[in-house]
Structure formats: structure tokens, C-alpha cells
């Protein structure tokens, strides 16, 4: 068989899984739409250990360089279906079909877009989808949060500790979110709620400069001067095509145990696509290693080989 392990997704989770899998001698194929995933949306990651500041692109490129050293092969395509055939997984993309003995799902999550003019152009240039990640870049600046509910309020709460002023822009007539969260946010004087406002456009040449808002009651349009807008409308796990294969939670995330095992034998999942909390690059990478070691052990067991306890112990025992 050509592929022992197939990994779907080429960002921090998938590339780490690929490093571990290939380093243990597994024929490893990584199928992905891109290298870097959500990391490509940020120019400045300041909380990945070992790097004071690195762009998501550069960090992912380093991961890929390391994976390539161990012979990982790549297919740049989108996976559209997964099925099983006896002991094998069949992975279908737009352009082909691939088979493997073990499968690792690492295809992340996509932040929900605001879907307004200017958003695509200014992504990473003041349009952010991650307040914890990018908030510190706007210390003492005026920023806006677009979104409703506790997710957006949580972002506003955090940003109020960094930015000089935080505008929370919502379409509805009353502030949306749990009473507890609303009260907590209201206690911060630098947070201003702008309800009954629709964001029509994000304006700016090289960076975000303002939002074009429409007053829902009067229909009047106004510009709100800010330096960043945090689109906090939640994330979408595009897992529809695997819903009959593995168990998902109500948010569409793949449910995994501490071994990153899904409900289906031989399928492991890691990173933002899973139900593990705190969506961060370092967490995805850590989970990627767990998923790979578990997947290798699944294959070893099928082949009647002993199981690995960890990556370094395996290398140690080879030397002795």
C-alpha cells in the first residue's frame, strides 16, 4: 500500500502530525487546500514558544520544511468525501482518490465572515478574527467588535484591557448576550455599545481606517473611525461531509478523547476541527503529535507490532 497515513489539513495540527508520522517511518501523504490555514490570516504570532514574533506563513513554512525532511508527500486539493472499504480509508478530492490505513483529520475551522465590502482586502491589515491573538497589536488604539452574543462580548471584554476604546457594533435593538456577560462588559467604561447599526463597509487603503455604518432606525449612514475591527461571529467547522463517519458535537466539531481518537477506529483528529477548547496554534501542534502517535499505534497493532509510548523513547531504544 502506498499510504500508511493520510492527513487532511496543512496547518499547525496537520503538519505536526505529518512530522511525527513520517519520522516514525510511515508513508505519509498530506492533502490540503493550503499550507498555513488560519495562520495565513495573521502577520504577527507572538505567543508561539520559541519565536518572539513570527508570521503565520513563516511559522507554517518552517513546519512544512521539517515535514519534508522526513519524506512527507503533498497533494494540494480539497477533500470532498471519505469512505471506508474494508480496512482502508478512501479519500476523495476534486481531482483524485487516495487510500490509507490510518487517517488524521486536521482541517481546522474557518472564522465566519462578516461578508461586507473591504473585508477581504483588509484581512490581516486591521480586519481580525481573533481578539486574543491580534488584540495586543492595538494597545491604546480605538477598535470595534462586530458580532453578537457572548462570543463577541468575550472579545470586547478582553479588548477593553488593551485598547483605549472598544465599540461593539450590533444590528439588534438590545445588546445580545447573557445578562451576566452584558453586565460585566458594561462595567468597563471604555466599551461603547452601538446597537441598531449595520456595518456596510470596512474602509481603508493599506489598513483599516473606519467602518461605514447604517443606523437601522433612521437609515442614516455614518463613519466610525477605528484602527481595527474584530469580526467575532464564531467559527465554522466544515465537517458536513464526515457527519456519518465520526461523531460530531452540536457545533460540528469532531469529538476526540485524550488520544485524539474519534468514534471511528483508525480515524484520529487534531487541532481546531476538534472539540478541544482554546483554539491556538501551539495547541493544534501538540494535538497533532498525539494524533500521529495514536494513529501509528493503531497501524502497529494491526500489523502485530509493539506500541510506541512516545516519540523520543522510540529513538532511544533504537540506539541502545
Ligand X SMILES: Cc1cc2nc3c(=O)[nH]c(=O)nc-3n(C[C@H](O)[C@H](O)[C@H](O)COP(=O)(O)OP(=O)(O)OC[C@H]3O[C@@H](n4cnc5c(N)ncnc54)[C@H](O)[C@@H]3O)c2cc1C
Shortest separation between residue 239's beta carbon and ligand X, angstroms: 9
Question: Which CB sits closer to ligand X, 116 or 175?
Answer: 116
Say if CB 36 and CB 8 are below 8 A apart.
no
Which residue, 182 or 255, has its beta carbon nearer to ligand X? Answer: 255
Min separation Cβ 163 and ligand X, Å: 16
Q: Smallest distance, Å, CB 273 to ligand X?
A: 6
Q: Which is nearer to ligand X, 122 or 175 (CB)?
A: 122
- Contact residues for ligand X, defined by CB under 6 A: 8-14, 31-34, 37-39, 41-42, 45, 47-48, 78-79, 106-109, 111, 128-130, 133-134, 271-272, 279-282, 284
Nearest to 28 by CA among 48, 2, 54: 2
Looking at the Cβ atoms of 168 and 260, the one nearer to ligand X is: 260
In the complex, which residue's CB is closest to ligand X?
108
Give least dist CB 20 to ligand X, A. Answer: 14
Q: Name which of 72 and 175 has its Cβ closer to ligand X.
A: 72
* CB of residue 141 to ligand X, shortest distance in Å: 17
CA distances from 155 to 47, 226, 296 (A): 18, 16, 39
The span from the CA of 143 to the CA of 154, in Å, is: 14
Cell 491580534 belongs to 134
Give the C-alpha separation, 115 to 25, whole Å: 44
Minimum CB distance to ligand X, residue 269 (Å): 10
Distance of CA 176 to the CA centre of its chain: 25
Q: Smaller CB distance to ligand X: residue 175 or 285?
A: 285
Q: To 10 degrees, the CA torsion angle through 11, 107, 85, 67? A: 0
Nearer to ligand X, 78 or 99 (CB): 78
Smallest gap, in angstroms, from Cβ of residue 25 to ligand X? 23
Radius of gyration for the alpha carbons in the chain, expressed in angstroms and rounded:
22
Name which of 183 and 207 has its Cβ closer to ligand X. Answer: 207
To ligand X, the closest distance from the beta carbon of 282 in angstroms equals 6
Amino acid at each position: 500500500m502506498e499510504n500508511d497515513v493520510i492527513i487532511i489539513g496543512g496547518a499547525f495540527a496537520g503538519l505536526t502530525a505529518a512530522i511525527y508520522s513520517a519520522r516514525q517511518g510511515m508513508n505519509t501523504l498530506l492533502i490540503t487546500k493550503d499550507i498555513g490555514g488560519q495562520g495565513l490570516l495573521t502577520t504577527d504570532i507572538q505567543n508561539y514558544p520559541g519565536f518572539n514574533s513570527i508570521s503565520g506563513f513563516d511559522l507554517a513554512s518552517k513546519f512544512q520544511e521539517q515535514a519534508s525532511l522526513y519524506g512527507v508527500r503533498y497533494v494540494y486539493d480539497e477533500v470532498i468525501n471519505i469512505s471506508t472499504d474494508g480496512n482502508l480509508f478512501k479519500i476523495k478530492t476534486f481531482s483524485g482518490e487516495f487510500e490509507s490505513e490510518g487517517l488524521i483529520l486536521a482541517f481546522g475551522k474557518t472564522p465566519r465572515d462578516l461578508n461586507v465590502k473591504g473585508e477581504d482586502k483588509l484581512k490581516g491589515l486591521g480586519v481580525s478574527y481573533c481578539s486574543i491573538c491580534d488584540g495586543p497589536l492595538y494597545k491604546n488604539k480605538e477598535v470595534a467588535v462586530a458580532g453578537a452574543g457572548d462570543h463577541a462580548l468575550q472579545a470586547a471584554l478582553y479588548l477593553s484591557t488593551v485598547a483605549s476604546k472598544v465599540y461593539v457594533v450590533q444590528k439588534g435593538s438590545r445588546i445580545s448576550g447573557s445578562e451576566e456577560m452584558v453586565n460585566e462588559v458594561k462595567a468597563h467604561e471604555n466599551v461603547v455599545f452601538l446597537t441598531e447599526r449595520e456595518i456596510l463597509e470596512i474602509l481603508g487603503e493599506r489598513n483599516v481606517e473606519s467602518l461605514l455604518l447604517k443606523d437601522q432606525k433612521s437609515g442614516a449612514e455614518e463613519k466610525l473611525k477605528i484602527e481595527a475591527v474584530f469580526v467575532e461571529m464564531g467559527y465554522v467547522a466544515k465537517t458536513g461531509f464526515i457527519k456519518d463517519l465520526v461523531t460530531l458535537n452540536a457545533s460540528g466539531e469532531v469529538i476526540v478523547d485524550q488520544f485524539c481518537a474519534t468514534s471511528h477506529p483508525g480515524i484520529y483528529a487534531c487541532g481546531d476541527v476538534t472539540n478541544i477548547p482554546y483554539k491556538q496554534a501551539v495547541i493544534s501542534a501538540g494535538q497533532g503529535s498525539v494524533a500521529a502517535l495514536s494513529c501509528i499505534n493503531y497501524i502497529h497493532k494491526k500489523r502485530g507490532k509493539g506500541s510506541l509510548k512516545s516519540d523520543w523513547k522510540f529513538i532511544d531504544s533504537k540506539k541502545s
